[in-house]
Amino acid sequence: MTSVKNPWACLAIACLATLLLSLDLTVLHLALPSLAADLGAGSTQVLWIGDIYGFALAGLLVTMGNLGDRVGRKRLLLIGAAAFGAASVVTAYAPTPELLIAARALLGVAGATIMPSTLSIIRNVFTEPGERTAAIGIWSGMSAAGFAIGPVVGGLLLDHFWWGSVFLINVPVMAVVLVGGWLVLPESRNPHAGRLDLLSVGLSFAGIVGAVYALKEAANKGVDHADVLVAGAGGIVLLGWFWWRQRRLAEPLIDVRLFARRAFSASILTNLLAIFAMSAMMLMFAWYLQLVLGWSPLMAGLAQLPGGLSGAVGGVLAARLIPLLGRNGVVALGLAMNAGSFLYYTTLGTELNYLTLLPALIVGGVGVGFAFTVNNDNVLATAPRQRAGAAAAVSETAFELGGALGIAVLGTVLTSAYRSNLELPAGLTGGVTGGAARESLASAIAVAQSLPAGQAADLVRAAQAAFLDGVHLASYVTAGLLALVALLALVGLRGVPKVIPEEVLTAAHS
């Protein structure tokens, strides 16, 4: 039995909020060129406009998940929704790059209050195991759909309105979340929560931001730059200190003993690798479709839409497959399906019949939906209900780290393969022009615009061929990694019950 009169209405509010947050992570990408030109933002400012949201979001997820356990998940969700709507208005009408960066940071802070709150509310509303798994499947599907819809929505808005419109769409949606949440969501909190350890808050924030920054910058600069090394080493040290401190606190931000449970730790790891693959695919196709095939941003977004929507379908189907294959079988199947789609991507060339690509996108999307749903359900089911916010925050943090890791690793593989395989046409092997062409495919295309027609065509063909070599290598690497993790999930999640009764969890954590 469910614990409230309208649990599915509660799920609708949670899904609407998470759909918007996922959409907001990708909708900005298409708006960056126009807002940079309008505000006169420099290259460094553009990077911060794009990244500060993710830094604030990832750094504060653990803290906000714990705060929701203490002050109430409904209360924190409503406060976050109001703040997100207000920050969206400020962002849309920001007159300077500095104010835009500050507003994007506030969006990240507000998003960090919303994401773990939605999952922890689902955990506390749906106490019957089958309903809980189905609800988390729908929630996971909405999250995946948001990623895919973001570029399409951004493209449509930018075709008709100014760049601020991609932020203003948040306002009416968050108004619905506020009103609907106030009316239908039940309040829940941990009645025995202690005080919030401020040192742990600082360590988690600084450590996670350092790690995410290092991963993002490694994709742009390489791992041998001083700021990447300092941020990465600092993040690891601070997170190690955070882990050590949690083992000694009576009321830690994260109960690290949960990682000793295979269902928890294996699910966190496989979730991280699933979003690694998803973010890698989105980045790879954004470049491939636009720079190799010459498609518009809107067309590129539409082309990727079936992959995201099929992730939503996979999320719904996952709950039905658990009785047949077990939890480990569903996760392993999902990761294997995704590995298979990446093997297909190794055949991509300078021409594409989209109908041949579509099955790979759908199979990979459904596979990601399988893995996300079961892993999120495992994480929440393994943790006690009173600490659902903290458990949800760990899952969401792994999601953010996996996305940053996927972009960093794929970006490094693509860039390295491109530079090592690029054979410049005669007359362009040295000097400023040749050096610029070696930076990236986009740089080579820009260089070609200033060259004579024949030489330009030779340069573009050579650059596209080198880029495709990188795509093929990155696809092989990702496919192999996913296949390995599928085997690990098959073993690591073996023995996790198909149905995890609430009374068993309560007894295990009492």
Q: What pLDDT is attached to residue 510? A: 34
Domain identity same for 191 and 276: no
Domain identity same for 11 and 84: yes
Contact 170, 85 (CB under 8 A): yes
* Range with top average pLDDT, 169-178, 488-497, 498-507: 169-178
Domain identity same for 191 and 268: no
Q: What pLDDT is attached to residue 221? A: 66
Mean pLDDT of 204-217: 80
- How many CB atoms within 10 Å of residue 58? 25
Which range among 149-158, 197-206, 473-482 shows the weakest confidence by mean pLDDT?
149-158
Q: What pLDDT is attached to residue 506? A: 41
Last residue of a domain, one of 173, 196, 219: 196
Q: Where are the alpha helices (DSSP H) in 126-169?
A: 129-160, 165-168
Number of domains in the chain: 2
| Higher-scoring residue by pLDDT: 394, 242 | 242
Give per-residue pLDDT as tens, 394-427.
777 777 777 767 766 777 777 778 888 888 777 6
Q: What pLDDT is attached to residue 194? A: 67
Residue 152 lies in a domain: yes
Domain identity same for 116 and 188: yes
Residue 218, pLDDT above cutoff 90: no
Distance CA 242, CA 203 (A): 6
The pair of structure tokens assigned to 379 is: 């994480």
Domain identity same for 51 and 192: yes
Domain identity same for 267 and 171: no
500 pLDDT tier (thresholds 50, 70, 90): low
Last residue of a domain, one of 165, 196, 227: 196
Distance CA 30, CA 151 (A): 7
Q: Is the pTM of this model over 0.85?
A: no
507 pLDDT tier (thresholds 50, 70, 90): very low
Residue 358 lies in a domain: yes
Residue 236 lies in a domain: no
Residue 250 lies in a domain: no
Residue 111 lies in a domain: yes
Distance CA 331, CA 263 (A): 12
Domain identity same for 396 and 301: yes
AA letter at 431 = G
Residue-number span of the structural domain to which 428 is assigned: 260-510
Last residue of a domain, one of 171, 196, 221: 196
Mean pLDDT of 284-307: 80
Mean pLDDT of 428-436: 61
Q: At what angle do helices 97-125 and 388-421 cross, to 10 degrees?
A: 130
The pair of structure tokens assigned to 484 is: 């390995």
Rounded to an integer, what is the distance from CA 72 to the centroid of its chain?
25
Domain identity same for 30 and 151: yes
Q: What pLDDT is attached to residue 505? A: 44
Phi-psi region of 261 (alpha: psi -120 to 50; beta: other; left: phi over 0): beta
* Range with top average pLDDT, 5-14, 213-222, 379-388: 5-14
Residue 227 lies in a domain: no
Residue 55 lies in a domain: yes
Could you tell me the CATH number of the domain that includes residue 110? 1.20.1250.20
Distance CA 219, CA 15 (A): 32
Give per-residue pLDDT as tens, 49-80.
777 887 788 778 878 877 877 788 888 889 99
Distances (CA, A) of 203 to 184, 197, 215, 234, 241: 36, 10, 18, 11, 7
Domain identity same for 311 and 435: yes
Domain identity same for 307 and 385: yes
Q: What pLDDT is attached to residue 167? A: 87
Mean pLDDT of 144-172: 80
Domain identity same for 172 and 289: no
Domain identity same for 179 and 43: yes
Distance CA 497, CA 482 (A): 24
Distances (CA, A) of 434 to 39, 152, 211, 418, 464: 31, 35, 34, 14, 15
Residue 202 lies in a domain: no
| Higher-scoring residue by pLDDT: 160, 430 | 160
Distance CA 487, CA 183 (A): 45
The CA-to-CA distance between both ends of the chain, in Å, stands at: 22
